[in-house]
Structure 1
Amino acid sequence: MVDPGRVAALLERVGAEVKAIRQSTERPDEDLHSDNDALPAMKYRLVVAIETTIDIADHIIASEGMRPAQSFADSFAALEEGGWVDGDLAGALQEAARFRNLLVHQYADVDDDRVVETARTRLNDLETYCTTIARRLA
């Protein structure tokens, strides 16, 4: 059975990270690039926010007896299969999980402009996920 308290705490964590990221994205690009701490902090907060969405998914998967995910991205496919999220949201979150892998493992040099653009344009996916999960548990 899904632990609503645990999921609520994780949802709160995602919300706090998204809020902080959104605040930093309001800064002009020049400020972000000239501040030695701004972009590393943004990258870290993105990683934490995305990893926390994965933690939520994995908790639901285990609690509901769904098929085990084969990767972080696959966690969201499993949630879609289980009826917890729709296909569009699952796809967006799979993309987020792959972006997290890129940031963490540095498979390629991550362009700072791409990080800022992702932070400015994809946070709604994380918020939609949190709203979807919270409504399902209400």
Structure 2
Amino acid sequence: MVDKDIMQRKLSFIDLKLRNLETLKLIERQDFLASFQAVDATKYNLQVCIEALIDVSNHIVARERWGIPNTSAEAVKLLIKHGILGEDKEHSLVQMVKFRNRIVHLYQEVDDAEIYRILQENLKDIKGFIQAVINRFF
């Protein structure tokens, strides 16, 4: 059984960082790309959101005794396999995990325009993850 206190703290953290990202999302593209502060703040907030999402996934997998995932993407896939997340979310969530890996390990290859695109188009995926977890466990 999941520890709801741990889950609530992680989900609240993600929600806080999403609010930061929603503020950054309001910046016009040209101004965003000209501001290393906006770009770096967005990278950081995306990174920690995804990290917390991975932590929640691993927590659920461990507490529900669904095995030991070899990768972060596998932890997310186990949530899909067990019906917490819809199968239609697999591609976007796995891409999110891969993106987090690029920010952390291949940071020099992450394009600022891609960061802006993700900010504009993909926050709904993180929100959907939160909602799915809340619907199942709270």
Could you say which TM-score interval applies, normalised by the shorter chain? over 0.9
- Which residue of the partner structure matches residue 103 of structure 1? 103
> Is the CA contact 1:79–1:90 (under 8 Å) kept in the aligned structure 2?
no
Aligned residues: 138
CA distance in 1, matches of 2:110, 2:6: 33
Q: Which runs of 5+ in 2 are unaligned?
A: none
Distance 1:107 1:43, change over 3 A: closer
Cα distance in structure 2, aligned partners of 1:112 and 1:34: 10
Partner of 1:14: 14
**Residues 29-44 of structure 1: matches in 2 within 5 Å?**
29-44=29-44
Q: Percent identity?
A: 26
Q: How far apart in 1 are the matches of 2:52 and 2:36?
A: 25
Taking structure 2 as the reference length, what is the TM-score of the superposition?
Answer: 0.94
- Cα displacement string for residues 83-133 of structure 1 (whole angstroms, at most 9, x for unaligned residues): 211111232111100011111111761110001101110100000110010
Q: Deviations over 1:14-35 (max 9, x none)?
A: 1111111111011112221222
What secondary structure does 1:27 align onto? coil
1:46 alignment counterpart: 46
Unaligned runs of at least 5 residues, structure 1:
none
- Root-mean-square deviation (CA), in Å? 1.2
Q: What does residue 131 of structure 1 align with?
A: 131
